[in-house]
Amino acid sequence: MAKSSNPEGKTGVRIVVAGDRGTGKSSLIVTAAAETFPTNVPRLLPPTRLPEDFYPDRVPITIIDTSSNPEDRGKLAEELKRADAVVLTYACDQPETLNRLSTFWLPELRQLEVKVPVIVVGCKLDLRDDQQQVSLEQVMSPIMQQFREIETCIECSAYKHIQIPEVFYYAQKAVLHPTGPLFDQETQTLKPRCVRALKRIFILCDHDRDGALSDAELNNFQVKCFNAPLQPSEIVGVKRVVQDKLVEGVNERGLTLTGFLFLHALFIEKGRLETTWTVLRKFGYNNDIKLSDDLIPYSSFKRAPDQSVELTNEAIEFLKGVYELFDSDLDNNLRPIEVEDVFSTAPENPWNDAPYKDAAEKTALGGLSLDAFLSEWALMTLLDPARSLENLIYIGYPGDSSSAIRITRRRRLDRKKQQSERNVFQCFVFGPANAGKSALMNSFLGRPYLDSYSPTADEQYAVNVVELPGGIKKTLVLREIPEDGVSKLLSSKESLAPCDIAVFVYDSSDESSWKRATELLMDVAGHGEDTGYEVPCLIVAAKDDLDSFPMAIQNSTRVSQDMGIEAPIPISSKLSDFNNIFRRIVNAAEHPHLSIPETEAGRSRKQYHRLINRSLMVVSVGAAVAIVGFAAYRVYATRKNASS
């Protein structure tokens, strides 16, 4: 596998040289640039530029000299923070300057939060006492164990021209082809994210999907990455190197995934990181081993606040195929290990963390049904469409990425048309503490009822498929808003824009719970009226297994009639009596012009607008009559004059 290529977009590398006074910083820089040892070195050099053809990567280098005087500490800190790489110098004939690396310089870099590769350079090698010969590994090993940011250690002599070009070659290489993202120096293994990326690349290159790269596939890979074919003898040589060290690395069909990964580990161990980086970059990966932003069409996600993003039928069919592929025993139960396998070509499993973790219904065996699997994807697409699309690409979506998603119609337009065309509805669940919100969420995911009360501190999501009459399936996302989070939510003008329907849950046995729920309903309805993002609302009377408070029916009838919405829907999570609540939520969301509550202020505002409009109409009609009358008068006058 051939030489490296210049990473796209990297127009130059800025290397800052720092260290104690008298350690040889300026001599090192001058000798590298002029290829001669200077007789007179100024105290501080101006920025020095090495031309782009100085090293094979053809990226120009700017070297910054620094002063170690106390009065120049501010300037030094400023330069270090702008560095792509730092060269720290010590003098081989002054052991105390070596000690200063670990007692001052390296801790200083951490203090300044300079997170770039560090090259430690022992200058003045020609002046070291022959009686004190020790290996560089012995000297540097303890420091490198303590400071993992050290990429390379090297000794040199400017006076005798020993390893001077190598210093800045290693510094440039550490920037363009960093070790950190690829390889764990401690365990001497490829890092997980690197393995996942290489696995994806292997699968993309294994065109016949037989689990091995044939000679032809290996050659195609070589041409794509390095613009040069492999000779038959070179292919034999590559496979022999792998097979000698790892029998399972090659089989009768070609180079296996294990062999492919071993080959890259071998390149890295031998210092040929540019080979692996060239491969990664050819397949669109950046320095974080994630797909570059330019591969994700972010412009596809531009939308109004009350529009949402959904997967297309094309993407859903692809995901169904993925599910069938990984559900190897065809039991409609994708076990956790199989879900991990689905995302084994992505940087990580996106569902391991909130809000996706535990957001979907689990099977009795702790896995995901097909509906639950698709629900998780629907949730991710709704909340973070870029991440959803990115992960579709990681797991092998074959079509044009923009064909995987669609932007829904604005909810404001849905209201005018009196129907919604959405397949995924988001429902905000409001209610006072201990009203039964979490019990409703858990029941939606088929979880058993718990008698113990545990307050919800943060927002929670639950997503599932709701089957409507006629076998039509819609995806419903419940977003639980803790009571103390409502005011923060409503502080934003567009907070209700992504909400398709709001549900207000109260404890039907507790009058104070009912009062607080109606206050929340008024707040949300008022916010919707003020911002233009009105949402359909339903009231849910939870804990129907308990006795209602005395005025329950009278109060709830009055409020629902006054606000023009449906009477509270009684449910009991304890008795699993849900009164078709989830179908009713979806049905209300599908008809966004209905069930919209009206506050007293909102009603007054509408009456005022109607009055103004009526007045304008009267003025308009009056003006029209006047104009017509004037025209008639002119016609009459003209005729009268003509007859005279």
Please report, for the domain that includes residue 332, its CATH number: 1.10.238.10
Same domain (yes/no): 18, 131: yes
Same domain (yes/no): 364, 495: no
Domain extent at residue 520:
415-598
Same domain (yes/no): 165, 53: yes
Same domain (yes/no): 195, 161: no
Residue 331 pLDDT greater than 70, yes or no? yes
How do strand 61-65 and strand 48-50 relate by DSSP bridges? antiparallel
Same domain (yes/no): 196, 172: no
Q: What is the rounded CA–CA span in Å between residue 541 and residue 539?
A: 7
Same domain (yes/no): 420, 401: no
The pLDDT of residue 142: 86
Residue 270 lies in a domain: yes
Residue 609 lies in a domain: no
DSSP element (H, E) containing 200: helix 192-205
Same domain (yes/no): 24, 143: yes
Q: What is the mean pLDDT of residues 398-404?
A: 87
CATH of the domain at 578: 3.40.50.300
DSSP code per residue over 221-261: HHHHHHSSPPPHHHHHHHHHHHHHH-GGGEETTEEEHHHHH
How do strand 405-407 and strand 309-311 relate by DSSP bridges? antiparallel
Do 573 and 436 form a contact (C-beta atoms < 8 A)?
yes
The pLDDT of residue 92: 92
Confidence of residue 137 (pLDDT cuts 50, 70, 90): confident
Last residue of a domain, one of 258, 293, 328: 293
Same domain (yes/no): 362, 447: no
Same domain (yes/no): 377, 516: no
Sign of the alpha-carbon dihedral angle for 442, 444, 449, 455: positive
Across the chain, what does the average pLDDT equal? Answer: 90
DSSP element (H, E) containing 153: strand 150-155
Same domain (yes/no): 141, 54: yes
Which DSSP symbol is given to 14? Answer: E
Residue 210 lies in a domain: yes
Q: What is the rounded CA–CA span in Å between residue 2 and residue 274?
A: 9
Same domain (yes/no): 207, 313: no
Last residue of a domain, one of 407, 426, 454: 407
Which DSSP symbol is given to 101? Answer: I
| pTM higher than 0.95 | no
Q: What is the rounded CA–CA span in Å between residue 88 and residue 84?
A: 13
CA-wise closest residue to 590 among 441, 471, 476: 476
Length of the chain (residues): 644
Residue 134 pLDDT greater than 80, yes or no? no
Residue 624 lies in a domain: no
Residue 606 lies in a domain: no
Last residue of a domain, one of 176, 209, 241: 176
DSSP element (H, E) containing 504: strand 501-507
Q: What is the pLDDT of residues 72-114, one digit of tens each?
A: 999 999 999 999 999 999 999 999 999 999 999 999 999 999 9
Burial of 222 (0-12, 13-18, 19+ CB in 10 A): buried
Q: What is the rounded CA–CA span in Å between residue 184 and residue 176?
A: 18
Sequence-ordered list of residues with C-beta below 8 angstroms from that of 394, at least 6 positions apart, any chain = 200, 291, 343, 345, 346, 347
Residue 618 pLDDT greater than 90, yes or no? no
Residue 292 pLDDT greater than 60, yes or no? yes
Residue 46 lies in a domain: yes
Residue 628 lies in a domain: no
Two structure tokens written together for 474 = 């819609």
Q: What is the mean pLDDT of residues 567-576?
A: 94
Count how many domains the chain has. 4
If phi over 0 gives left and psi between -120 and 50 gives alpha, with beta otherwise, what is residue 69? beta
CB atoms within 10 A of CB 231: 10
Same domain (yes/no): 422, 397: no
The pLDDT of residue 400: 86
* Rounded alpha-carbon distances, angstroms, from residue 622 to 612, 628, 633: 15, 10, 16
Sequence-ordered list of residues with C-beta below 8 angstroms from that of 153, at least 6 positions apart, any chain = 119, 120, 121, 122, 136, 140, 144
Q: What is the pLDDT of residues 451-476, one digit of tens each?
A: 888 888 889 999 999 999 999 999 99
Residue 632 lies in a domain: no
DSSP code per residue over 24-50: SHHHHHHHHHHSS--SS--SSPPPEEE
